[in-house]
């Protein structure tokens, strides 16, 4: 594989050196020759792994027992390396540790190519790779952790015994599970707070004069920060050399398909544009809106106002279900003028942002509706806000009352609350779907408010058969456009492969 | 916030005078140039002017102090916002290839707005403030100022009254201006304790061990809470607000308190009983670490930040010395040495200072007039300095001057250190 011009410089470093540890910083690109088929398999399997990392991160607390168990299972089934030493290859007939590490190495670099092109892709890739790295690093025994630091030449400033003594109480109170003895015994590292943002954000370290005091047990944070910085630089570099790779017509379609696979459907292209009238919205909000949208809709009708976060979440959802720009403007204006905003003020202060949502102002980005992940993870509601995910951002007691008011059966409510307690917000929402639509099994896996709406409409508009038809026709439309040269042998093969990939992501 | 001496209709007449004779351009330019250390720092800064009828003019930028002055005097903005320092001149943002025009740096800013406290204020709501609820801003500044200095190691903090219902903080250290979006949001989240929207009852959750930062913050809140919340806001005075205070408590304590409150009406005694019960429950339960009383105090008094303002590098924030069009008050720097006596209602309005300017001047300055002739160039500037010194704006410009002076001193210190280092080689 020839990714860049660096290749020649690296001749001489033996492969065994490269794979001396089961974890690596991916400092050097692989130099092997591999077949196209292998190129593809490796990439798809790593993508599956990253996708699993993403999904688990939403359903479970990261690094909880369940999270780790599920992720470990995925490692085993996809044959990625985890914690074993190169020497002790006990698995007979299975993939050798060397092979696994090689796979880890090469597949990472392939996805770098696919995910370096836009800000969004880079962010997603870095996030998943970091979660992956954190999991693998935490899983190492302390000997291997030290070994890893050593091999990668990572040195951090330690806090002197004297200073530790002075700060003892504060250090104990800043981190979980520390006592006086452990503070004396273990090393603390002092780094600029910018290098330990995750710990700063959650107040898990002591901060003094811009330095974070990090207990040895949290050293993964600093290592991870290093990893992020390197990866982010590397992706920027890769993006620059990408044109050379893209000129290879065997790789180009493959890479672009790989990078499109991560989000699933984004619900931006709508066939049913203009099929919804404003009068329908109230009744639809009760029947087919997910709870988050039903809730902002109600707040909007009651207060005749929504703050920015609510307008974005709800406005893009409405756009996704088919409101035209004109309808959207009319919808927001008619509601806002009932409140404190007069028509003139609306046109000046709010109409711009509605047009902006439809890509008619500013950068002219055609914004896509928020996915569940985005609603759950970013921009949590604060005072005066009604957006967010009710399963994630409401007090359970209030959620219960709300569900009661929507006539959900007590046993149904308990099931929902149980899921909420386990932090399975999307599953809770899916349960809500099943309860409100009186079906046993929703038959899909919910990850987007607009998906909720579409599924609900399908269900209310007739049997399951219609749904299948729609799916088939969607698939039929998607594939030819992304794969326009089926005549070549290799890309035909790729086509089949990616058919699988498609179904994999649709199943998710 | 009604005030007798200002009438919004007069704003168009007063602004030209304000920008011609009172606005502290030299200091303003000195601030945003940051010693001229990095090239084009002032030139690539975005300004946004709000004109009559809420017309926003974004991406304004100026190459010199003189150009800024001329332009402001020409356009007479109702409001001025400051944005980021960009990779190119913002005024030319349309001429550079899309994607290359990027926000690079900005002060780390915080925006605290009284409307965000509406669920815990009983005196006013929305845009209204009074001297009672202003205590919330005082608490906020005490807590955040300490944390930004001691925890994060920043030195150059400019606290500004927004002119109406809140305060802004501009953290101007080099390191702060260079922070990434992720770092800004991490700082803001570190500083945020009150979480959740309309659907959250218990908005502060504490657990063992209590982080030193929260301990410091609690010590500030505890200092103000009895007088502010129990006496002035009287949060345990009426049925409705009692219900709200008790809502986050566990059922058993709630029940005991309701019975107790039927007998005892004195709010302070009620609060003490609440604390006693929580304390009792804590010592009797094995789990430990239940801090319901402290959580309530924080929920009612802890600063509420608009995280989104702090996060974005390209987010606009109202400039110091801009006029608030609704109240007419000048957005003035707050002197932290006199924080506890700072009264937003004493902040001068544009009408007041313009009036002060019109008053016949005493003859104190003839001497200086002579000197002016020696140095024609500075004459205009000097006249303006004398102008604002005759108004109530003077003491606030002085605060700004002191802030700038401290920044210059530390910049010089840095430069000396650097050159010393070089000599070592």
Which whole-number Å values give the CA distances from A216 to A33, A479, A505, in the listed order? 41, 50, 39
What are residue B323's phi and psi, to 5 degrees? -95, 140
Return the higher-pLDDT residue of A7 and A126: A126
How far apart CA A93 and CA B37 sit, in angstroms, is: 65
Which residues of A touch chain B, with CB atoms under 8 Å apart?
Answer: 170, 172-174, 176, 193-194, 197-198, 200-203, 206-211, 299, 308, 345, 348-349, 363, 379-388, 390, 393-395, 397-399
Which one of B153, B182, B199 has the shortest CB-CB distance to A209?
B153
Task: State residue A84's pLDDT score.
Answer: 62
Alpha carbon of A246: minimum distance to chain B alpha carbons (Å): 21
Alpha carbon of B237: minimum distance to chain A alpha carbons (Å): 24
Task: State residue B424's pLDDT score.
Answer: 56
How far apart CA A310 and CA A375 sit, in angstroms, is: 10
How far apart CA A469 and CA A461 sit, in angstroms, is: 14
ipTM of the complex: 0.89
What's this model's pTM, rounded to 2 decimal places?
0.76
Return the higher-pLDDT residue of A380 and B273: B273
- Number of CB pairs, chain A paired with chain B, less than 8 A apart: 114
pLDDT per residue over B345-381, tens digit each? 999 999 999 999 887 665 555 445 455 455 555 666 6
Return the higher-pLDDT residue of B136 and A184: B136
pLDDT mean over B115-136: 90
Task: State residue B11's pLDDT score.
Answer: 93
Residue B286: pLDDT band (50, 70, 90) is low
Alpha carbon of A297: minimum distance to chain B alpha carbons (Å): 14
pLDDT mean over B193-200: 85
Task: State residue A94's pLDDT score.
Answer: 65
pLDDT per residue over A402-458, tens digit each? 899 888 899 999 999 988 887 788 889 999 999 999 888 877 778 899 999 988 988
Return the higher-pLDDT residue of B199 and B331: B331
Question: What b-and-e string marks burial along A64-101, b requiring 16 or more CB atoms within 10 Å of the CB?
Answer: eeebbebbeebbeebbbbbeeebeeeeeeeeeebeebb
Residue B400: pLDDT band (50, 70, 90) is very high
Alpha carbon of B182: minimum distance to chain A alpha carbons (Å): 8
Residue by residue, DSSP assigns A256-309 as: HHHHHTSS---S-S-TTTT---TTHHHHHHHHTS-HHHHHHHHHHHHHS---HH
Which neighbouring-strand residues pair with B86? B103
How far apart CA A360 and CA A349 sit, in angstroms, is: 15
How far apart CA A374 and CA A127 sit, in angstroms, is: 14
Note which residues in 222-281 of chain B have CB less than 8 A from chain A.
none
pLDDT-wise least confident of A157-171, B5-19, B180-194, B280-294: B280-294
* A372 annotated as ligand-binding: yes
Residue B281: partners with Cβ closer than 8 Å, 6 or more residues away: B250, B252, B253, B290
CB-based contact A13:A28 (threshold 8 Å)? yes
Which one of A194, A202, A386 has the shortest CB-CB distance to B198?
A386
Helix axes B376-389 and B394-424, enclosed angle (nearest 10): 130
Residue B20: pLDDT band (50, 70, 90) is very high
How far apart CA B83 and CA A434 sit, in angstroms, is: 48
Rg of chain B over all Cα atoms, to the nearest angstrom: 25
Which one of A193, A200, A395 has the shortest CB-CB distance to B201?
A395
- Using a CB-CB distance cutoff of 8 angstroms, which residues of chain A are in contact with residue B250? none
Task: State residue A506's pLDDT score.
Answer: 41
CA-nearest residue to A309 within chain B is B308
pLDDT per residue over B142-164, tens digit each? 999 999 999 999 999 999 999 99
**CB–CB of B209 and A390 under 8 A?**
no
Q: Does residue B421 have a pLDDT over 90?
A: no
Taking the alpha carbons at both ends of chain A, their separation in whole angstroms is: 31
Q: Does residue A338 have a pLDDT over 60?
A: yes
To test the contact with chain B by mutation, choose from A207, A292, A296, A306 the residue with the greatest count of B C-beta atoms within 10 A, namely A207
Q: B99, B331, B27: which is closest to A363 by C-alpha?
A: B99
Question: What b-and-e string marks burial along B348-381, b requiring 16 or more CB atoms within 10 Å of the CB?
Answer: bbbbbbbebbeeeeeeebeeeeeebeeeeeeeee
Residue A376: pLDDT band (50, 70, 90) is confident
Flag whether residue B216 sits within 8 Å of chain A, measured between CB atoms. no
How far apart CA B77 and CA B321 sit, in angstroms, is: 12
pLDDT mean over B319-336: 96
- Using a CB-CB distance cutoff of 8 angstroms, which residues of chain B are in contact with residue A167? none
Residue B177: partners with Cβ closer than 8 Å, 6 or more residues away: B85, B105, B106, B107, B108
Q: Is B46 a catalytic residue?
A: yes
Residue A187: partners with Cβ closer than 8 Å, 6 or more residues away: A158, A159, A216
List helix spans (H) across B233-328.
239-246, 251-263, 267-284, 292-301, 307-311
**CB–CB of B200 and A395 under 8 A?**
yes
Q: Does residue A151 have a pLDDT over 60?
A: yes
Which one of B150, B213, B308 has the shortest CB-CB distance to A203?
B213
Q: Does residue A471 have a pLDDT over 50?
A: no
Residue B80: pLDDT band (50, 70, 90) is very high
HSE at residue B316, side-chain half, CA atoms within 13 A, is: 16
Q: Does residue A8 have a pLDDT over 50?
A: no
- Using a CB-CB distance cutoff of 8 angstroms, which residues of chain B are in contact with residue A200? 186-187, 190
To test the contact with chain A by mutation, choose from B54, B197, B254 the residue with the greatest count of A C-beta atoms within 10 A, namely B197
Which one of B185, B197, B210 has the shortest CB-CB distance to A383?
B197
Q: Is B111 a catalytic residue?
A: yes
pLDDT mean over A154-169: 88
pLDDT mean over A249-253: 82
Task: State residue A85's pLDDT score.
Answer: 54
Task: State residue A299's pLDDT score.
Answer: 93
Flag whether residue B196 sits within 8 Å of chain A, measured between CB atoms. yes
Residue A498: partners with Cβ closer than 8 Å, 6 or more residues away: A257, A482, A483
Q: Does residue B257 have a pLDDT over 90?
A: yes
Residue A227: pLDDT band (50, 70, 90) is very high
Alpha carbon of A420: minimum distance to chain B alpha carbons (Å): 15
* A429 annotated as ligand-binding: yes
Q: Is B113 a catalytic residue?
A: yes
- Find the angle CA(B248)-CA(A204)-CA(A190) to the nearest 5 degrees: 160
Helices then strands, counting H and E runs in chain B, come out as: 16, 8
How far apart CA B313 and CA B184 sit, in angstroms, is: 8
- Using a CB-CB distance cutoff of 8 angstroms, which residues of chain B are in contact with residue A363? 98
Residue A261: pLDDT band (50, 70, 90) is low
Three-state DSSP class for A98?
A: helix
How far apart CA B138 and CA B75 sit, in angstroms, is: 35
């Amino acid at each position: 594989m020839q990714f860049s011009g660096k290749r020649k410089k690296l001749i001489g470093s033996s492969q065994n050196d490269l794979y001396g540890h089961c974890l690596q910083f991916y400092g050097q690109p692989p130099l092997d020759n591999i077949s196209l088929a292998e190129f593809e398999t490796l990439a798809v399997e790593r993508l599956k792994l990253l996708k699993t990392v993403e999904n688990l991160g939403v359903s479970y607390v990261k690094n909880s027992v369940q999270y780790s168990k599920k992720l470990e299972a995925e490692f085993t089934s996809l044959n990625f390396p985890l914690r074993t030493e190169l020497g002790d290859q006990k698995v007979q007939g299975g993939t050798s540790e060397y092979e696994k590490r090689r796979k880890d190495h090469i597949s990472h670099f392939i996805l770098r190519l696919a995910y370096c092109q836009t800000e969004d892709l880079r962010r997603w890739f870095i996030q998943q790779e970091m979660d992956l790295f954190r999991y693998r690093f935490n899983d190492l025994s302390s000997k291997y952790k030290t070994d890893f630091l050593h091999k990668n030449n990572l040195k951090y400033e330690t806090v002197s015994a004297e200073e530790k003594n002075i700060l003892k109480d504060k250090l104990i109170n800043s981190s979980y599970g520390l006592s006086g003895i452990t503070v004396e015994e273990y090393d603390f590292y002092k780094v600029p707070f910018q290098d330990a943002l995750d710990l700063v954000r959650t107040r898990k370290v002591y901060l003094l004069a811009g330095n974070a005091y990090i207990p040895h047990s949290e050293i993964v944070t600093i290592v991870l920060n290093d990893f992020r910085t390197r990866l982010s630089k590397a992706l920027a570099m890769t993006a620059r050399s990408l044109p050379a790779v893209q000129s290879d017509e065997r790789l180009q379609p493959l890479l672009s398909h790989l990078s499109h696979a991560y989000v699933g459907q984004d619900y931006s292209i709508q066939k049913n544009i203009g099929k919804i009238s404003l009068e329908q919205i109230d009744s639809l909000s009760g029947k087919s809106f997910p709870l988050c949208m039903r809730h902002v809709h109600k707040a909007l009708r009651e207060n005749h106002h929504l703050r920015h976060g609510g307008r974005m979440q709800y406005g893009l959802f409405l756009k996704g279900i088919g409101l035209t720009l004109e309808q959207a403007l009319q919808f927001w204006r008619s509601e806002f003028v009932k409140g404190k905003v007069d028509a003139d003020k609306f046109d000046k202060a709010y109409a711009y942002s509605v047009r902006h949502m439809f890509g008619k102002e500013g950068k002219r980005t055609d914004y896509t509706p928020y996915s569940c992940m985005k609603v759950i993870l970013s921009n949590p509601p604060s005072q005066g806000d009604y957006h967010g995910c009710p399963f994630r951002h409401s007090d359970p007691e209030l959620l219960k009352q709300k569900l009661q008011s929507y006539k959900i059966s007590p046993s149904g409510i308990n099931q929902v609350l149980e899921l909420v307690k386990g932090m399975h917000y999307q599953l809770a929402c899916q349960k809500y779907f099943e309860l409100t639509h009186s079906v046993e099994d929703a038959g899909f896996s919910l990850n987007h408010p607009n998906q909720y709406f579409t599924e609900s409409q399908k269900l209310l508009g007739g049997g399951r058969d219609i749904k299948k038809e729609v799916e088939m026709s969607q698939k039929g439309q998607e594939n030819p456009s992304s794969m326009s040269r089926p005549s070549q042998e290799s890309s035909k093969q790729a086509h089949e492969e990616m058919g699988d990939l498609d179904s994999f992501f649709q199943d998710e | 916030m009604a005030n007798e001496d200002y009438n919004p209709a007069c704003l168009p007449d007063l602004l030209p005078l304000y920008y011609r004779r009172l606005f502290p351009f030299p200091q303003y330019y000195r601030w945003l140039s940051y010693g001229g250390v990095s090239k084009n720092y002032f030139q690539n800064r975005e300004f946004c002017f709000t004109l009559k009828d809420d017309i926003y003019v974004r991406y304004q930028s100026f190459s010199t102090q003189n150009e800024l002055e001329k332009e402001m005097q020409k356009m007479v903005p109702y409001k001025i916002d400051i944005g980021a320092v960009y990779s190119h001149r913002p005024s030319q943002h349309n001429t550079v290839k899309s994607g290359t025009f990027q926000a690079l740096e900005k002060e780390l800013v915080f925006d605290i707005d009284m409307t965000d406290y509406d669920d815990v204020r009983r005196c006013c709501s929305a845009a209204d403030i009074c001297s009672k609820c202003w205590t919330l801003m005082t608490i906020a500044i005490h807590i955040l100022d300490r944390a930004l200095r001691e925890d994060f190691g920043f030195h150059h903090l400019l606290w500004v009254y927004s002119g109406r219902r809140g305060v802004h903080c501009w953290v101007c250290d080099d390191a702060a201006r260079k922070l990434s979006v992720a770092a800004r949001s991490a700082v803001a989240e570190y500083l945020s304790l009150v979480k959740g929207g309309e659907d959250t009852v218990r908005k502060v959750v504490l657990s063992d061990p209590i982080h030193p930062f929260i301990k410091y913050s609690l010590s500030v809140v505890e200092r103000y809470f009895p007088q502010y919340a129990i006496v002035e806001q009287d949060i345990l005075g009426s049925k409705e607000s009692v219900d709200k205070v008790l809502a986050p408590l566990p059922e058993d304590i709630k029940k005991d308190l309701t019975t107790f409150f039927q007998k005892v009406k004195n709010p302070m005694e009620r609060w003490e009983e609440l604390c006693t019960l929580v304390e009792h429950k804590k010592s009797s339960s094995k789990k430990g670490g239940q801090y319901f009383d402290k959580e309530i105090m924080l929920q009612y008094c802890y600063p509420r930040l608009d995280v989104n303002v702090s996060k974005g590098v390209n987010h606009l924030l109202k400039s110091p010395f801009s006029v608030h069009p609704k109240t007419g008050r000048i957005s003035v720097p707050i002197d932290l040495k006199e924080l506890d006596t700072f009264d937003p209602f004493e902040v001068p309005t544009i009408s007041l200072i313009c009036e002060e300017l019109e008053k016949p001047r005493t003859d104190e300055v003839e001497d200086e007039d002579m000197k002016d002739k020696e140095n024609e160039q500075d004459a205009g500037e000097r006249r303006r300095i004398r102008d604002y010194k005759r108004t109530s704006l003077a003491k606030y410009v002085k605060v700004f001057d002191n802030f700038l002076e401290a920044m210059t001193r530390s910049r010089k210190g840095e430069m000396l250190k650097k050159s010393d280092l070089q000599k070592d080689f």
